[in-house]
Amino acid sequence: MRRSRFLINTLKETPKEAVVVSHILMLRTCMIKQLASGIYTYMPLALRSLRKIENIIREELDAAGCQELLMPMVQPAELWSESGRWQAYGKELLRFEDRKDNGYCLGPTHEEVITDIARREIRSYRELPVNLYQIQSKFRDEIRPRFGLMRGREFIMKDAYSFDTDEQSCDESYWQMYEAYKRIFTRCGLTFRPVEADSGNIGGSYTHEFHVLAGSGEDEILSCSHCDYAANVERAELKTFEPAAMPDSVPTPEEVSTPAQKTIEAVAGFLGVKPEQCVKTLVYRAGDRIAAAALMGHRELNETTLRNEMGAAEIELVTDAATFQANGLAPGFMGPLDWPKDIPIYVDDEVMAQSSVVTAANKVDTHVKNVVPVAHFNPTKVLTLRAARAGDGCPRCGEGVYESYRGIEVGQVFKLGIKYSESMKAFYLDAEGNERPMVMGCYGIGVSRTMAAAIEQNHDKDGIIWPVQIAPFHVALLNLDIKDEEVVAACEAIESGLALHGVEVLVDDTANRPGPKFKDADLIGMPVQVKVGARSLKQGQVELKVRKTGERRSVALAEAVDEIL
């Protein structure tokens, strides 16, 4: 392919709208063009890489016995009402009406459509298991589309759906896909990690995410230093403990474990009160964790200040009436501003008994949504809802500690069970002639996000460093003297020699000077560069450069092709 015929205009400057590396580099290399917020055209260079990722996915899924189909992107509301998601899905689902006022949506995922196919096509246990997949554009009206292809509104996904007769067979399908995913991301040349995860909007009982490890990842993942347990922080298990009893009196410092004491001191310092004023009945010890300890009534106190400014890990607010009075606060119960409504605020019986006070305060501070009697305080439960973090002991092996990484979620596998087959009546007949719901799994890969993640993980200050398996071209062949016939002939010889072996070459035959050509080749990031210039060609030599290592060497023209292979 001739660069002069290929639609690619590179940019020297960092575009203002981009903040993450993949977005910047995809704009600078003319891979993507934004049409609207979160909606992009994949330009020829990007499409070549996307197709390679797709083909790796196809090969691995076909080898695992899956079948490809292609479902419509536009889906009728009735199907979504059957599953209950027309109501439940929220604003990410882009809904609209046709000219007859029938409701439709753009598919953010395809459980409903595929379940409809299964219930119409599959009758008997003899036809199961089945695993169907497609590669297609999805639409999700993301609240914050950003980072280019990392979080678009329209994006390319591979989604697969398995149908089995029973739980055990479904588990087999699940783990088959899990293994296929490992092969897929390995073949894409990525460093990744499967982690246990939360099932979110899709529902279901069991799930893993696949994360490409990169500092810019939106997710935090924790993995054990000793065993192979790894989980999204949203899901990471904690060691369980017996809930500690509420102390009768103010604990002495010796009674309070160090992190607890630190938290209390931090909170007290922030509020300008003595720690002992803070801790009266407010301390809950749970192992060396603390669910603790702040005075109500301080309006600036919110989760962010507690976490960021005080470095507190686990914070639950607990208070009692006596503490209010002891601190000269007016009767009343006020929560901190911006308190997240899913974090309960525990109050003791005395405060609770003044229900009018609580109600009144709730009226004043409507953000205080979740006032719970302290008797319901269960550190174990609370602590599994809030997050584990680096340094915590591993709950699985008990030997290692959690290490923390940033990850980009490029895929997820779910065991759905019978959530959709029951509500949508996707039944089959078993060997005894009984009707049973098919047991389902679903499996997504963000194809366009995987390409972005590859760049997030593989770049340097000069540009992209493509993993060879998904590089748009394998070789950048730089013609440094386009008017020199021998150089042109040498470039043609190398290009056609490589083509015989399926090596894809982008020949820079533009009139640019050598300097900009080198810079451009580094920016676009093909794994190998070949430089052909008149001067070295007189000695029968061309130069090879490995983009990743920067290693260069001169080789004889006649040997160039073999050297590259």
Give the other-Cβ count within 10 Å of 552's Cβ.
Answer: 11
Contact region for ligand ATP (CB under 6 A) — 53-61, 301-309, 385-393, 409-417? 409-417
Instruction: Give the number of other Cβ atoms within 10 Å of residue 404's Cβ.
Output: 16
Closer of 151 and 547 to Mg ion (Cβ):
151
C-alpha of 389 from chain center: 18
Six-digit token pair at 327?
């601190």
Residue 155: contacted member of ligand ATP, Mg ion, none (CB under 5 to 8 Å, by partner type): ligand ATP
Q: How far is the CB of 534 from ligand ATP (least distance, A)?
A: 46
Under rule CB under 6 A, residue 105 binds ligand ATP = no
421 sits near Mg ion (criterion: CB under 5 A) = no
446 counts as binding ligand ATP under rule CB under 6 A: yes
Our finding on whether 411 is near ligand ATP (CB under 6 A) is yes
Question: Is position 155 an interface residue for ligand ATP (rule: CB under 6 A)?
Answer: yes
Helix (H, G, I), strand (E, B) or coil at 410: strand
**From CA 92, how far away is CA 246, in angstroms rounded?**
44
Q: Which two tokens stand for residue 474?
A: 């394998």
Q: Fill in the per-residue mask, 172 to 211: x = in contact with ligand ATP (CB under 6 A), - = not in contact.
A: ----------------------------x-x---------
Give the interface segment with ligand ATP, choosing from 171-179, 387-395, 442-450, 476-484 (CB under 6 A): 442-450
- From the list 163, 137, 166, the residue with the least C-alpha distance to 65 is 163
The structure tokens listed for 536 are 């070295």
Choose among Mg ion, ligand ATP, none what residue 547 binds, the Cβ cut-off being 5 to 8 Å by kind.
Answer: none
**CA separation for the pair 350, 118 (Å, rounded):** 57
Question: Looking at beta carbons, which residue is closest to Mg ion?
Answer: 412
Instruction: Please check whether residue 202 is in contact with residue 84, taking contact to mean a CB–CB distance below 8 angstroms.
Output: no
Whether the ω angle into residue 129 lies within 30 degrees of 0, i.e. cis, is yes
Distance CA 41, CA 50 (A): 12
- 224 and 402 Cβ atoms separated by less than 8 Å: yes
DSSP annotation of 401 reads B
Residue pair 424/82 in contact (Cβ under 8 Å)? The answer is yes
Q: Is 413 in the site for ligand ATP (CB under 6 A)?
A: no
Between 395 and 414, how does the x/- string for binding to Mg ion read (CB under 5 A)? --------------x--x--
Read off the amino acid at residue 123: R
Q: Which does 157 bind (CB under 5 to 8 A by kind): ligand ATP, Mg ion, none?
A: ligand ATP
Residue 42 or 125: the one with the smaller Cβ distance to ligand ATP is: 42
Q: 312: Cβ–Cβ under 8 A, 6 or more apart, which residues?
A: 263, 266, 267, 306
Instruction: Tell me which of 107, 129, 148, 152 binds ligand ATP, using CB under 6 A.
Output: 152
Site membership for Mg ion, residue 162 (CB under 5 A): no
Angle between helices 485-499 and 557-564 (to 10 degrees): 30
> Which CB, 57 or 410, lies closer to ligand ATP?
410
For 536, phi and psi rounded to 5 degrees?
-70, -30
C-alpha gyration radius of the chain: 30
Q: Which does 518 bind (CB under 5 to 8 A by kind): ligand ATP, Mg ion, none?
A: none
Tokens describing residue 55: 């083909």
* Cis geometry, peptide bond prior to residue 293 (ω within 30 degrees of 0): yes
Nearest to Mg ion of 159, 320 (CB atom)? 159
Residue in the block written with tokens 């899709």 = 202
- How many angstroms separate the CA atoms of 326 and 323, rounded? 5
- Site for ligand ATP (CB under 6 A): which residue of 119, 449, 474, 531? 449
**# of chain residues touching Mg ion (CB under 5 A):** 2
Q: List the x/- string, 156-175, binding to ligand ATP by CB under 6 A.
A: -x------------------
410 binds ligand ATP (CB under 6 A): yes
Beta strands in 70-174, from DSSP E residues, in sequence order: 74-76, 95-97, 103-106, 130-139, 154-164
What is the nearest approach in angstroms of ligand ATP to the Cβ of residue 179?
Answer: 17
Does residue 44 have a cis peptide bond before it, meaning omega lies within 30 degrees of 0? no
Q: Report the nearest approach of ligand ATP to the CB of residue 412 (Å).
A: 4
Task: For residue 147, state whether it binds ligand ATP (rule: CB under 6 A).
Answer: no
Q: Which C-beta is closer to Mg ion: that of 185 or that of 427?
A: 185
CB of 189 to Mg ion, least distance (A): 22
- Range in contact with ligand ATP (rule: CB under 6 A) among 147-155, 333-341, 376-384, 533-541: 147-155
Q: Which does 410 bind (CB under 5 to 8 A by kind): ligand ATP, Mg ion, none?
A: ligand ATP
Which residues are near Mg ion by CB under 5 A?
Answer: 409, 412
Which residues are near ligand ATP by CB under 6 A?
Answer: 109, 140, 142, 151-152, 155, 157, 200, 202, 409-412, 444, 446, 448-449
